């Protein structure tokens, strides 16, 4: 039987406990999960991509079934290159579904047989988003409990750098 590989794409700027939860739950269904940072040339992230890779690898260092990667361009093309027909997406609220539903259908149009598996974010993380974590951290708020200590420290360093 072929290895079942799922791709979990996102910006992961920064990785939150919600992302970690979705990845761990995906591992209950698939043999391997590739957490793939989507590099958007039109969007400048708070944390540079190499830092996000480091933080993601730190989050999953104990599990060899998780691979961290990056990609540019179409997700469907990346899935084809990596030999996966499964995309994992986390949903926090009904508002997420509408946009994700459109993306899933477009990806399937671009790569026949590409399926999207939607996982509901756990109740303890449903209000957490990378955007909100970044905003609170950059304003000096406490984001511990939403992200790992490694991420808290990376955000503190970034805040100090931006403040200069």
Identify which of 61, 62, 5, 10 has the alpha carbon closest to the alpha carbon of residue 33. Answer: 5
The full DSSP string for 28-59 is TT-SEEEEEEEE-TT---SS-HHHHHHHHHHH
How big is the chain by its Cα radius of gyration, in Å? 16
pLDDT computed for residue 107 by the predictor: 96
Which residues does the annotation mark as catalytic?
A: 19, 43, 92, 130
Domain assignment of residue 145, yes or no: no
CATH value at residue 109: 3.40.50.620
Residue ranges in the chain whose pLDDT is less than 50: none
Please tell me whether the overall predicted TM-score, pTM, comes out greater than 0.75 for this model.
yes
Query: What is the rounded CA–CA span in Å between residue 26 and residue 88?
Result: 7
Q: What is the pLDDT of residue 33?
A: 98
pLDDT of residue 46: 92
Residue 22 has a CB neighbour count (10 Å cut-off) of 25
pLDDT of residue 162: 80
Q: Residue 131 domain-assigned?
A: no
Backbone angles phi, psi at 67, to 5 degrees: -115, 140
**Domain around 74:** 5-126
Residue 81 covered by a domain: yes
Task: Indicate the number of domains in the chain.
Answer: 1
């Amino acid at each position: 039987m072929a290895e079942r590989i799922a791709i979990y794409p996102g910006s992961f700027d920064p990785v939150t406990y919600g992302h970690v939860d979705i990845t761990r739950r995906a591992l209950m269904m698939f043999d391997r999960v590739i957490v793939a940072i989507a590099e958007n040339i039109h969007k400048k992230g708070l944390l540079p991509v190499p830092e996000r890779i480091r933080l993601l690898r730190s989050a999953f260092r104990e599990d060899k079934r998780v691979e961290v990667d990056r990609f540019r361009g179409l997700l469907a093309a990346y899935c084809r290159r990596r030999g996966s027909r499964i995309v994992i997406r986390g949903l926090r609220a009904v508002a997420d579904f509408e946009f994700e539903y459109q993306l899933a259908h477009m990806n399937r149009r671009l790569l026949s047989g590409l399926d999207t598996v939607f996982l509901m974010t756990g109740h303890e993380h449903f209000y957490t988003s990378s955007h909100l974590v970044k905003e609170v951290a950059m304003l000096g708020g406490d984001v511990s409990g939403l992200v790992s200590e490694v991420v808290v420290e990376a955000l503190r360093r970034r805040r100090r750098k931006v403040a200069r």
